[in-house]
């Protein structure tokens, strides 16, 4: 198993096609393949994501549905967005600078999963933008 504490498992209709797309569009790296079309573990910076096949009760998102999104930290949001766009990602939100010190953009991949990519611009205290740090 990869070492991150939380590892998203996302279902895709075609595991191999999803892996190729995630590598090309987002720069993820396949770490482990389990069967030709069953599952794959991908390295995402110091994190991981698992790509799973459609099986049993697992299914890819349906059009018009959003059950979750995955946030990933990157070093250059603008360059990352252009790379994803070149691979056909549907940009849902162009790169935007937020008062909490992050620059973010969001996309939908070909299977309908939503992804948010975030770059830190400044370390802003939560109280400065309406948040409250609890621990």
pLDDT for res 115: 97
Domains and CATH numbers, the chain: 1-55 (3.10.180.10), 66-135 (3.30.720.110)
Tell me the pTM: 0.91
Q: What is the pLDDT of residues 106-133, one digit of tens each?
A: 999 999 999 999 999 999 999 999 999 9
- Report d(CA 7, CA 3) in Å as an integer: 9
pLDDT for res 36: 84
Q: What is the pLDDT of residues 37-76, one digit of tens each?
A: 899 999 999 999 999 999 888 888 888 888 889 999 999 9
113: buried, middle or exposed (CB in 10 Å: 19+, 13-18, 0-12)? buried
In Å, how far from its chain's centre is CA 106? 9
pLDDT band at 8 (very low <50, low <70, confident <90, very high): very high
Measured between alpha carbons, how far is residue 94 from residues 4, 48, 77 in Å? Answer: 28, 24, 10
Query: Do 72 and 100 meet the contact criterion of CB atoms below 8 Å apart?
Result: no
| Mean predicted confidence (pLDDT) in 5-25 | 96
Q: Is pLDDT of 77 > 90?
A: yes
- Report d(CA 52, CA 15) in Å as an integer: 6
Handedness of CA 40, 44, 45, 46 (dihedral sign): negative
- Report d(CA 107, CA 83) in Å as an integer: 11
């Amino acid at each position: 198993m990869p070492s991150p504490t939380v590892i998203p498992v996302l279902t895709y209709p075609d595991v191999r096609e999803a892996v190729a797309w995630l590598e090309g569009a987002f720069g993820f790296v396949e770490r482990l393949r389990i069967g030709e079309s069953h599952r794959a573990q991908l390295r995402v910076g110091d994190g991981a994501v698992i790509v799973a096949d459609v099986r049993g009760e697992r299914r890819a998102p349906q059009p018009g549905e959003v059950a979750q999104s995955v946030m990933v930290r990157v070093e250059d949001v603008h360059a990352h967005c252009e790379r994803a766009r070149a691979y056909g990602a549907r940009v849902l939100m162009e790169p935007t600078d937020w008062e909490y010190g992050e620059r973010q953009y969001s996309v939908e991949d070909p299977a309908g999963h939503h992804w948010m990519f975030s770059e830190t611009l400044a370390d802003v205290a939560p109280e400065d933008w309406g948040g409250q740090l609890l621990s």
